[in-house]
Structure 1
């Protein structure tokens, strides 16, 4: 009986995954999910008490890994820049984390970043953006005087580039499911923004 229940639960999760890939959390329909899973909506509620709990079951694990990795990256960035590590190495850490998460949970990661509107995970993109901005600020700060103070223009540049990088990654994950394509496009995006920022630094200098 437990095996049968596990099979039913997995069928619900599979149907929900397909639904959330197509619709934001706020627009997703439990009725469509039940139809896709081949059961009544009432039967779904025997396994998940509401849409929020179902969404949590899908994206919660990848969210936990994402946040844990963000904290690790931030610590690495702060430590490595203090030792004079190249900015490109720090951005490659971010790239590696994105690709590792994609390989483990590609659909769930796409949903987390692109389909969370209306859920408690709606702010995840902003959290990732803040991380990227802090890395870009470190890149701009690298090579400045000992105070390392950024001008308003430099802070605005980091904000603008950070937001664009995150949106770029979200678009790549939304439009592509092939791992090699995602890896190539994310790599190109990181490369572009590293050398773009490096060129901006040289011009300022």
Structure 2
């Protein structure tokens, strides 16, 4: 009779994998070290995930976004929140990323030698593209300046993730960051 796959074991494997990928990056993590963290035999992982790549994909699934879709979903700002520069889609995305921040940090900083190895650059590029759509609103437009703004925004987002003190704190800081950058470029 085939072994019944248990949700608890799958969750345990995913949690252990996330911790190992976060500590060692994709290249440094091994199925054996993940199994040790999950307190299961290494061979059991393969009953749930075909390979380390498949396990990595499962860990990053909650934070895998089509960045272009997020930025182009609309420019509707929240009513009554003052200088809230984030659209509803951007806000929902950021809240999800904060809730899965360890997976997001793995994707951005610890995914060398995977298909996500340039995800940080893709995100920066999508922010640049989004800002460039509004270049007529930007005084003294310069594409290098836009690249610096996008790059620094992503680095700021990652710093907020690394130094996380709670969702409300993070969203307030992200809004300040967006306000500073967008006002600074003339929006």
TM over 0.5: yes
Aligned residue in 2 for 1:167: 155
Structure 2 residue ranges without an equivalent (≥5): 77-82
Work out the CA distance in 1 between the residues paired with 2:40 and 2:95. 34
Aligned residue in 1 for 2:168: 180
Work out the CA distance in 2 between the residues paired with 1:131 and 1:55. 23
The structure whose Rg is larger is 1
Q: Does 1:74 align with 2:72?
A: yes
Aligned residue in 2 for 1:9: 10
Compute the RMSD of aligned alpha carbons: 2.7
Work out the CA distance in 2 between the residues paired with 1:108 and 1:36. 17
Give the deviation of 1:16 after TM superposition: 0.8
Q: Does 1:48 align with 2:49?
A: yes
- CA shift digits 1:25-75 (9 cap, x unpaired): 122232221111111212212221221110111112431xx21x6314225
Worse overlay, 21-30 or 187-196: 21-30
**TM-score, length of structure 2 as denominator length:** 0.79
Give the deviation of 1:101 after TM superposition: 1.9
- CA shift digits 1:105-150 (9 cap, x unpaired): 3332232223222211122222211121123323432277xxxxx8
Aligned residue in 1 for 2:101: 106
Aligned residue in 2 for 1:158: 146
* Higher helix proportion: 1
**TM-score, length of structure 1 as denominator length:** 0.73
Secondary structure at 1:45's aligned position in 2?
A: helix
Q: Does 1:115 align with 2:118?
A: no
The answer as to whether partners of 2:95 and 2:167 remain within 8 angstroms in 1 is no
Worse overlay, 9-18 or 22-31: 22-31
Give the deviation of 1:12 after TM superposition: 0.7
Q: Closer, same or farther in 2 for the Cα pair 1:111/1:17, shift >3 Å?
A: same
Secondary structure at 1:116's aligned position in 2?
A: coil
Write out the 4+ residue segments of structure 1 that deviate beyond 6 Å after TM superposition: none
Q: Closer, same or farther in 2 for the Cα pair 1:130/1:196, shift >3 Å?
A: same
Work out the CA distance in 2 between the residues paired with 1:160 and 1:193. 10
Aligned residue in 2 for 1:92: 86
Structure 1 residue ranges without an equivalent (≥5): 81-87, 145-149
In the comparison of the two structures, how many residue pairs are matched? 178
